[in-house]
Structure 1
């Protein structure tokens, strides 16, 4: 009986075939994931849950570009810090409600009740939101330790400086994040030629000082973006003179409206994959 020998391919040929066959799959999957994230984010930004006054501020706050820069995905566990009236919550909650998780870390006072009333009024979009407390030093368990993929804080750090609890907050962010998790910070950016006011009484914080605050808590800077920069803002006034606050009322209103919202830094940090002790 004649024995037929199997066809033998050289090893390099088999490896080449494997690379050709397999390498497009992860690339295609990644591209699909990115496209899916962008589509879901665009839908959340355009959704009917957003108020018209909030939509009008997109031209200053650039939510699509900002959240994309931070690397958000609909499957993440995200903590938003001190959400105020919920400007970003209107986007984050519908984005994350089906496949992710959203914690909202709020302080005390009437603002907290107003925010929670907002959530209760729209269970379709906000029923899955988990509200936690951020009142240092005792109440800073903003999410289970090591559970969050991302912590986000928008225009808050300048307020904390006056109360001397900034490091309590940054340490809380660090505890909540998984190793490799992202901290995204947006805040009013001070003139770098001027010394940093330790209590930021005009509402502006130097970018290098903000980076130092995060690094002291153990974070590593991985990116800085000019997405929310505004060169019209000369930062020679309290930030509250500008919209949306317009604290001076009709005085210089046109001037401040022409400037628009403040010049802002947009910084991305990570909790190191191999956890280091904060300094």
Structure 2
């Protein structure tokens, strides 16, 4: 009987020590996801978004600046069996002791701890430090299938780091590889400091790095977002920077209006 049980365990875990491969729908309900994460699904549409980008469980996927790990809770276990999740994480030992660096370092360390604690469920998931312009290498050239970034580009654009980010993504992707972008979408002429980016500007940055725009999606569009808030995009959930002031109003609007863009690294000419 003990031998039969042991054989069953090996069959379930396989040689890597992680559970059997998940479907994307199973990944959305895996037990690493926090209740508060599920609450965001109605705004962020993870199943539809990842399907649009063509993410498969056998791929090597790099997520840029995963932050608190909202998408990592889905991607790391989804890729654990047959693929590879790579987090391009914050610098956790910054040279400059600024408020922003302290905040990112704290998040980065918490994310490292999360991966370590959940090692049995995230397989070969690993971390590379991404801190333009000092650290922009995401991996060996031409080794990743997909690079993903969710609501980060405005941060890089503020700090003149966006060109380095797109270049790094282009370098690490295989020919035919995908760069998937979700970003707060600005109206024409908006101040970038409000946290929104003009779609045309994002496309221009990607194309300058060598990418081709394959298609757009309105999966993450939100026509209720008027984009005219004193505290910018952070007025809306999940930040709710104004606290209880008009909280119900902003909850009714929901999260920001977002562009969803799929770029492709052109295949090498034969």
Shorter chain as denominator, the TM-score bin is: 0.7 to 0.9
Per the alignment, residue 273 of structure 1 pairs with: 267
Identify which of 248, 260, 266 aligns with 2:242.
248
- Measure, in 2, the Cα distance between the counterparts of 1:259 and 1:138: 38
Unaligned runs of 5+ in 2: 1-21, 92-104
Per the alignment, residue 28 of structure 1 pairs with: none
Q: CA deviation at 1:65?
A: 0.2
Q: Is 1:53 the counterpart of 2:36 in the alignment?
A: yes
Query: Which stretches of structure 1, 4 residues or more, deviate above 3 A after TM superposition?
Result: none
Identify which of 116, 129, 136 aligns with 2:132.
136
- Measure, in 2, the Cα distance between the counterparts of 1:42 and 1:213: 33
- Measure, in 2, the Cα distance between the counterparts of 1:101 and 1:66: 19
- Measure, in 2, the Cα distance between the counterparts of 1:69 and 1:174: 19
Q: CA deviation at 1:126?
A: 2.7
Q: 1:196 to 1:232 in 2, by over 3 A?
A: closer
Q: Is 1:162 the counterpart of 2:158 in the alignment?
A: yes
Residues 79 and 143 in structure 1, CA contact (< 8 A), matched pair in contact too: no
- Measure, in 2, the Cα distance between the counterparts of 1:144 and 1:126: 21
- Measure, in 1, the Cα distance between the counterparts of 2:66 and 2:150: 8
Unaligned runs of 5+ in 1: 1-38
- Measure, in 1, the Cα distance between the counterparts of 2:163 and 2:107: 23
Residues 77 and 123 in structure 2, CA contact (< 8 A), matched pair in contact too: no
Q: CA deviation at 1:139?
A: 1.2
Residues 212 and 266 in structure 2, CA contact (< 8 A), matched pair in contact too: yes
Q: Is 1:259 the counterpart of 2:253 in the alignment?
A: yes
Tell me the SS of whatever aligns to 1:201.
Answer: helix
Per the alignment, residue 75 of structure 2 pairs with: 92
Q: CA deviation at 1:196?
A: 5.0
TM-score normalised by structure 2 residue count: 0.84
Tell me the SS of whatever aligns to 2:193.
Answer: coil
